[in-house]
Homo-oligomer: A and B are copies of this chain.
Amino acid sequence: MAKKNKTALQEKKGVSISEITNTSSIESIKTKRKTNVDANALVSSILNKNITALSRAITLIESKNIKHLKKANTIVNACLPHANKSIRIGITGVPGVGKSTFIETFGKHLTSKGKRVAVLAIDPSSSITKGSILGDKTRMEDLVKDKNAFIRPSASGDSLGGVARKTRETIILCEAAGFDIILIETVGVGQSETTVHSMVDFFLLLKLAGAGDELQGIKRGIIEMADIIAINKADGDNLKQAKLAKVEFNRALHLYPEKPSLWQPKVTICSAIKNEGIDPIWEFIIDYVKTTSKNGYFNIKRSEQNKFWLIQTIETQLKSDFFNTPKIKKELENQLQLIENNKTSPFSAADYLLGLKKR
Indicate whether A247 reaches chain B with its CB closer than 8 angstroms.
Answer: no
Flag whether A310 is at the interface (Cβ < 8 A). yes
Interface residues of A in 29-76 (CB under 8 A from B): 73, 76
0 or 1 for each of A301-325: is its CB under 8 Å from B? (1 = yes):
0010011111001110111001000
Please judge, given known A-B contacts A80-B343, A81-B342, A307-B339, whether A348 and B73 are in contact too, CB under 8 Å: yes
Give A330-359 interface residues, CB cut-off 8 Å to B. 335-336, 339-340, 342-351, 353-354
Minimum CB–CB distance from A21 to chain B (whole Å) comes to: 33
Q: Is the CB of B314 within 8 A of A345?
A: no
CA distance A314 to B77 in the complex (A): 33
The verdict on A266 contacting chain B, using a C-beta distance below 8 Å, is no
A195 at the interface (CB under 8 A from B): no
A354 and B219 CA atoms in complex are apart in Å by: 35
Count of this chain's copies in the oligomeric assembly: 2
A200 CB-CB contact with B under 8 Å: no
Could you tell me if B172 and A345 are in contact, using CB atoms closer than 8 angstroms? yes
Q: Which of B77, B314, B339 contacts A322 (CB 8 A)?
A: B314
Bound Cα distance from A172 to B342, whole angstroms:
11
Are B345 and A76 touching (Cβ within 8 A)?
yes
List which A114-165 residues lie within 8 A (CB) of chain B: 165
Q: How far is the CB of A312 from chain B (nearest CB, A)?
A: 8
Q: Are A347 and B168 neighbours in the complex by a CB distance under 8 Å?
A: yes
Separation in Å of the A281 CB from the closest CB of chain B?
29
Task: Give, as a whole number of angstroms, the nearest-CB distance from A290 to chain B.
Answer: 23
A310-B322 contact given A80-B345, A81-B342, A345-B80, CB 8 Å threshold: no
Q: Which residue of B lies closest to A172 (CB)?
A: B345
> What chain B residues lie within 8 Å of A165 (beta carbons)?
347
Q: Which residue of B lies closest to A166 (CB)?
A: B347
Chain B residues lying within 8 Å of A169, measured Cβ to Cβ, are 345, 347
Contacts of A77 in B (CB 8 A): 343-345, 348
| A211 CA to B307 CA, complexed, in Å | 40
Q: B348 and A306: CB pair below 8 A? A: no
Q: Is B336's CB under 8 angstroms from A80's CB?
A: no
Q: Are A318 and B317 in contact (CB under 8 A)?
A: no
Are A80 and B342 interface neighbours, CB within 8 A? yes
The reply on A83 being an interface residue by CB < 8 A is yes
Central interface residue in A84, A172, A347, A353, by most chain B CB within 10 Å: A347
A346 to B317, CA, bound (A): 13
Asked if B322 and A318 make an inter-chain contact with CB atoms under 8 angstroms apart, the answer reads yes
**Is there contact, CB below 8 Å, between A347 and B80?**
no
A220 within 8 A of B: yes
**How distant is the Cα of A308 from the Cα of B347 in the complex, in angstroms?**
11
Q: A77-B348, A81-B342, A303-B340 are in contact. Are A315 and B310 (CB under 8 A)?
A: no
**Contact partners of A351 in chain B: CB under 8 A:** 73, 313
Contact A310 B350 (CB under 8 A): yes
- Chain B residue numbers with a CB within 8 Å of A335 are 310
Tell me the bound Cα distance from A77 to B350 in angstroms.
Answer: 13
A306 contact set on B, CB distance < 8 A: 339-340, 346
Closest 10 CB pairs of A and B: A313-B350, A309-B346, A310-B346, A318-B318, A306-B339, A80-B342, A314-B350, A306-B346, A81-B342, A310-B349
Extra pairs beyond A81-B342, A317-B350 (17, CB < 8 Å): A77-B344, A77-B348, A83-B342, A168-B346, A306-B340, A306-B346, A307-B346, A310-B336, A310-B349, A310-B350, A313-B346, A314-B322, A314-B350, A314-B354, A315-B319, A317-B354, A318-B319
